[in-house]
Structure 1
Amino acid sequence: MSGEKEEKFLPSPAVHRPAPQHPVSLIISAIAFYWVASLSVVFLNKTILSGSEFKFPYPLFVTLFQLIVALVLLIVSGHLGKRNRTFSMVPPFEFDLDIARKIAPLSIVYVLMLTLNNLCLQLVEITFYQVARSLSIFFNILFTFTMLRQPTSAPAMLACGVVVLGFFVGSYGETNFSWAGLLAGVGSSIFVALYGIYVKKTLSIVENNQWRLLHYNTTISILLLTPIVLFSGELGEMSREVYFLDDLKFWILMTVTGVAGFLINTAMFLQIKYTTALTNTISGTAKSCVQTLLAMAFYQNPITAMNGFGIFLSLFGSGLYSWVRYAEMQRR
């Protein structure tokens, strides 16, 4: 599992809750855990797909492997939760065919979201990744109106306009531009927006339990993606082109990436539980800024003035949109 909002594998709970009275150290720990897990997902996936000694440009197989790791961890955590309070938030694994059929449309969207996200990471620089993925706000507004018939306020539309402007400015100024990477980012943004809507529609099937939904969604996604990987030709190409398939360090790196993808769910759960909605908003926006700066320092990606301005606009617009939506929900 990868990417940001990527990170939206767990839906956000209702905003209307009392301000948590938790120790500052606990709040800081929850935020730090979220940052480490989120940044790790993006950079580890980028490292595997296109940036390391183990360059492994097979996004379908990477996505499937990470889903399998996540499912194993879900099953183990659910089993440990029966006798250990640390894992008590994760219920025992379950899989009912009638429930699975109802959740399958969500899983189709989920598989497309993860696969396109990994493909985008493979094809574009991380500094451009935020820009390529920024249109999820635009598509969220579009699908919320067309599918749920819920209008969006003028201030939120204005913030979205800033994001869209940042998308075009950043794309035009990108030095290592890739049409395939850009289209994968736009496609991922579409399915991120659809995923959020389908989660809202699907949660009631599992009594609003996010972890039960994750059990079904991960299992169904593996069942959907396995035949796609088998018929995609990736396995045959891997056996011919990849010389390090018997290298233990490679599989350790792959497994660590899958664990990081799983930890995102726990990190988001803890940040939501121990902080406020406003803190979540600020944390997510600040993390995106740090992610871009770290990518500039770590990968030394060349950034033009126009590209940098586009990145700034997309980050600023995303933060402004989150702030506007938070303020609107507080008023309601």
Structure 2
Amino acid sequence: MSSKREEDFLPTPALHRAPVEHSVSRIFSAIAFYWVASLSVVFLNKTILSGSEFKFPYPLFVTLFQLVVALVLLVVCGEWGKRSRTFSMIPPFEFDLDIAAKIAPLSIIYVLMLTLNNLCLQLVEVTFYQVARSLSIFFNILLTWVLLRQPTSLGAMFACSVVVLGFFVGSYGETNFSWPGLLAGVGSSIFVALYGIYVKKTLAVIDNNQWRLLHYNTAISIGLLGVLTLFSGELKEIREEVYFLGDLGFWFLMTLTGVAGFLINTAMFLQIKYTTALTNTISGTAKSCVQTLMAMVFYQNPITAMNGFGIFLSLLGSGLYSWVRYAEMQRRN
């Protein structure tokens, strides 16, 4: 699942198709939907974890609740897909224990990726979030070589070096620096890279259908996160410390985060369907830039000159890396 962002929270549906011309309005709508869904994921998660009157610093429970909402929506859309062409891309829900056992290792990686991502978002400013998680490119290159013995081009390695430089410069210049937040971001980057590799290995189990993989992965992850949440002590602390559990506004906000997490899959599917791979890449990089600027405006995050330069380098390197990978793909085709 290239550079990983908040859209890596769930597997992105794949679509293999012949080139088709689409109207400008449809292309624009697909890109706009992706931007809204993707930005919503980051800002809603930040709001619920540490940025609102409902400050709820329990990343395990938040992630678990989001997955439950996503599973409910998957089941409902799968049933609608039997009757409506709009949802026909989502197959009916299924769960076979033999298949689930083969997918479980991927789900463990997925749970760690999601949990560390939300923990990072809780502990660092949104402006620094992109920098803290930017090493996914570095770990993707490293683990692809270690696990798959696949080499990386010099162009991609140069782009990665720009990202790594941005990581160190941005970290050094961050005014509200947090070691736990930084380590959570690095850990999330490692599991993002591992997740991308294992998705490719696991897709063969379910006939290369990423929607079916989403069914199994979400269901298994709920079970794993349920156990983690129980033994972490979060449930006990929530019962004793959180006074707004009876507030409908809180649960509405929690549900919105789950819906946004689910919608990012559909948004990525439509953007891939109605645009080119290059447009998809440029859109993701541009969205990261806007995300950083929005954080500066809404959260008034202080940014030093060095921190800003680090953010610029990490975004530049990510965009360059995506461009190099796209060019390599075009040459192979």
Partner Cα distance (1:100, 1:6) in 2: 25
Partner Cα distance (2:164, 2:70) in 1: 33
Please, which moves more after superposition, 18-27 or 58-67? 18-27
| Paired AA for residue 37 in structure 2 | A
**Partner in structure 2 of residue 190 of structure 1:** 190
Aligned-pair CA distance for 1:5? 2.9
TM-score by length of 2: 0.97
Partner Cα distance (1:198, 1:49) in 2: 29
| Paired AA for residue 105 in structure 2 | P
**Pairs within 5 Å for 1:162-201:** 162-201=162-201
TM-score by length of 1: 0.97
4+ aligned runs moved over 3 Å, structure 1: 11-14, 16-19
Q: Does 1:10 align with 2:4?
A: no
Partner Cα distance (1:17, 1:227) in 2: 41
**Partner in structure 1 of residue 206 of structure 2:** 206
Partner Cα distance (2:34, 2:221) in 1: 24
Paired residues of 1:120 and 1:181 also in contact (CA < 8 A): yes
Paired residues of 2:81 and 2:88 also in contact (CA < 8 A): yes
**Partner in structure 2 of residue 239 of structure 1:** 239
Partner Cα distance (1:320, 1:215) in 2: 33
For residues 235-272 of structure 1, what are the alpha-carbon distances to aligned partners after superposition, in whole Å with 9 as ceiling and x for unaligned?
11111111100000000000011000000111111111
Paired residues of 2:168 and 2:310 also in contact (CA < 8 A): yes
Q: Does 1:89 align with 2:106?
A: no
**Pairs within 5 Å for 1:111-126:** 111-126=111-126
**Partner in structure 1 of residue 298 of structure 2:** 298
Paired residues of 2:14 and 2:209 also in contact (CA < 8 A): no
**Partner in structure 2 of residue 329 of structure 1:** 329
Aligned-pair CA distance for 1:18? 4.0
**Partner in structure 1 of residue 42 of structure 2:** 42
Q: Does 1:56 align with 2:56?
A: yes
| Paired AA for residue 261 in structure 1 | G
**Partner in structure 1 of residue 110 of structure 2:** 110
**Partner in structure 2 of residue 32 of structure 1:** 32
Paired residues of 1:126 and 1:295 also in contact (CA < 8 A): yes
Partner Cα distance (1:19, 1:291) in 2: 31
Aligned-pair CA distance for 1:11? 4.3
Partner Cα distance (1:127, 1:317) in 2: 16
Give the secondary structure class of the aligned counterpart of 2:6.
coil
RMSD over aligned Cα, in angstroms? 1.1
Uncovered stretches (5+) of structure 2, i.e. residues with no partner: none
| Paired AA for residue 304 in structure 1 | T
For residues 161-206 of structure 1, what are the alpha-carbon distances to aligned partners after superposition, in whole Å with 9 as ceiling and x for unaligned?
0000000000000000000000000000000001100100011111
Give the secondary structure class of the aligned counterpart of 2:82.
coil
Aligned-pair CA distance for 1:71? 0.3
**Pairs within 5 Å for 1:217-296:** 217-296=217-296
Give the secondary structure class of the aligned counterpart of 1:224.
helix
Counting aligned pairs with the same residue, the percent is 83
Give the 3 Å change call, closer, same or farther, for CA 128–57 of structure 1 in structure 2: same
For residues 88-138 of structure 1, what are the alpha-carbon distances to aligned partners after superposition, in whole Å with 9 as ceiling and x for unaligned?
110000000010000001000000000000000000000000000000000
Aligned-pair CA distance for 1:86? 1.1
Partner Cα distance (1:225, 1:44) in 2: 20
Aligned-pair CA distance for 1:301? 0.5
Paired residues of 1:10 and 1:268 also in contact (CA < 8 A): no
Aligned-pair CA distance for 1:6? 2.6
Uncovered stretches (5+) of structure 1, i.e. residues with no partner: none
Paired residues of 2:82 and 2:88 also in contact (CA < 8 A): yes
Paired residues of 1:133 and 1:189 also in contact (CA < 8 A): yes
Paired residues of 1:11 and 1:196 also in contact (CA < 8 A): no
Paired residues of 2:66 and 2:258 also in contact (CA < 8 A): yes
Partner Cα distance (1:70, 1:55) in 2: 22
Aligned-pair CA distance for 1:12? 6.8
| Paired AA for residue 194 in structure 1 | L
